[in-house]
Amino acid sequence: MRNRGKLFRAHPTETWLVVVLLIMSAGLSVASDKFFTIANLFNLLNTSSTNLIFAVGLLVVLIAGGIDISFAVAASVVQYVVALALAQMGGGDWFIGLTLAAIVGIALGAVNAGLIYYFQIISIVVTIATFNIFFGLLMFFTHGVSIYNLPAWWTHRTVLFEFQQANGNWAELTLPVAIMAVCVAATWGLIRYTTTGRQLYAFGDNPEGARRLGINIAAMHFIAFGWLGLMAGIAGLVQVHYSQEIVPNALVGRELDVLAAVVLGGARLGGGRGTVLGCILGVFLVSVTQNGLNLLGISPYAFKMIVGAIILIAITLSNAPLGHILAGLRQRMGT
């Protein structure tokens, strides 16, 4: 009981999300016999990997007090550049692909960081501008043409782990899940267990205080946006693996969905707060909602509407006076 009280106090958003997720899952398990199966769990993991990789990248920028609108479009740029470079090289493999994606992604992130740091423009202005620059130039140079002719290793569906269920269906975990796990673990390690990570929190919470403590402000900008660039590059690669094609405008609009999920998970716009666990829960709350609606046979057209309403209600409740009162009550009961 004592431990639980501590947990509630330290991570109110995360506990709240876990409770909501459990209630939803319980409800869905009763409503649909397909929900609580390994196959469906694996399916959920497979489909959310791209978003979760984006999300942990964005989390680092949010913790450092910034915001980025351009990362999803940057991922499209990475996809195109990597595909063209690989065609020049005559194929390549996962290692070369990931390295290229990382370099291009970090470079695009560094563009944002440089503009924000050297010219002291706030991140939302810079990234709205670079969103338009990246997307405009990508569409201009590619004429909106998709690429279908991709190296085999890139699009080949790699199953990491599979087994047959009692009902004969195969449950499969695919490569994106492994990449996602590595990205999530790396981000967790970065922000939780390194000095740099602690500095990112300090910088996001109070930039001037962090500067006076001797934290290298330039490094903070480049690390945060570089990390998001890296994650965006990897997510871009994974998204191509999943969809088997490169469509230049496929990821436009994804940035706002990811942003909503990350902030739902407790990251604060304004910096200094946010955890990887919250981020995962935020992404999963959205994907479990969609998955559940799907299994319940509700029209796909209604998904976004319901997801939007749920996010709005969640924000209202977690910020409303009612939320404060509940949190206070919970604290008192916990101690």
Partner 1 sequence: MTQRVLETGALRHGFLRRLAGTLGAENIGLFLALILVIAFFGSLSPRFLSKATFESVAFQLPELGLLTLAMLMPIISGGINLAVTFTANLCGLTLAWVLQANGGPDASIYAFLLGSVLAVGVGTASGLVMGPVIAYTGAHPILVSLSVMIFLRGLGEFLTRGADISGFPEFIQPLGHGSIVGIPVPLLILLGAVIVWHVLMTRTRLGFSNYMVGSNIEATRYSGISTRRVIILIYALSGAMCALAGIIMMARFNSVRVGHGESYVLITVLACFLGGVNPFGGFGKVVSVFLALIVLQLLSSGLNLLGASQHLATAIWGIMLIGVMILRWAAGQLNFMRITR
Residues that bind partner 1 (CB under 8 A): 67, 69, 115, 119-122, 124-126, 128-133, 135-140, 143, 252-253, 256-257, 259-260, 263, 269-270, 299, 301-309, 311-312, 315-316, 318-321
Give min distance, CB of 61 to partner 1, in A. 14
Neighbouring residues of 87: CB distance < 8 A, sequence distance ≥ 6 = none
Give min distance, CB of 108 to partner 1, in A. 13
Considering beta carbons, is residue 30 or 84 the nearer one to partner 1?
Answer: 84
Considering beta carbons, is residue 122 or 185 the nearer one to partner 1?
Answer: 122
Instruction: State which H helix or E strand residue 273 sits in.
Output: none
Give min distance, CB of 126 to partner 1, in A. 7
Considering beta carbons, is residue 153 or 303 the nearer one to partner 1?
Answer: 303
Considering beta carbons, is residue 136 or 328 the nearer one to partner 1?
Answer: 136
Give min distance, CB of 105 to partner 1, in A. 19
Considering beta carbons, is residue 97 or 265 the nearer one to partner 1?
Answer: 265
- Here the tokens at position 35 are 């929900």
Give min distance, CB of 9 to partner 1, in A. 20
H-type helices in the chain, by residue range? 2-10, 12-31, 38-63, 71-89, 94-119, 123-142, 152-155, 175-193, 195-205, 207-212, 217-243, 254-264, 276-295, 303-319, 321-334
323: number of CA atoms within 13 Å, CB side? 12
- Here the tokens at position 29 are 């398990």
Distances (CA, A) of 285 to 72, 182, 305: 20, 21, 15
Considering beta carbons, is residue 42 or 135 the nearer one to partner 1?
Answer: 135
Give min distance, CB of 129 to partner 1, in A. 4
**Closest by CA position to 234, among listed 189, 183, 177:** 183
Q: Is 41 exposed, middle or buried (0-12, 13-18, 19+ CB in 10 A)?
A: middle
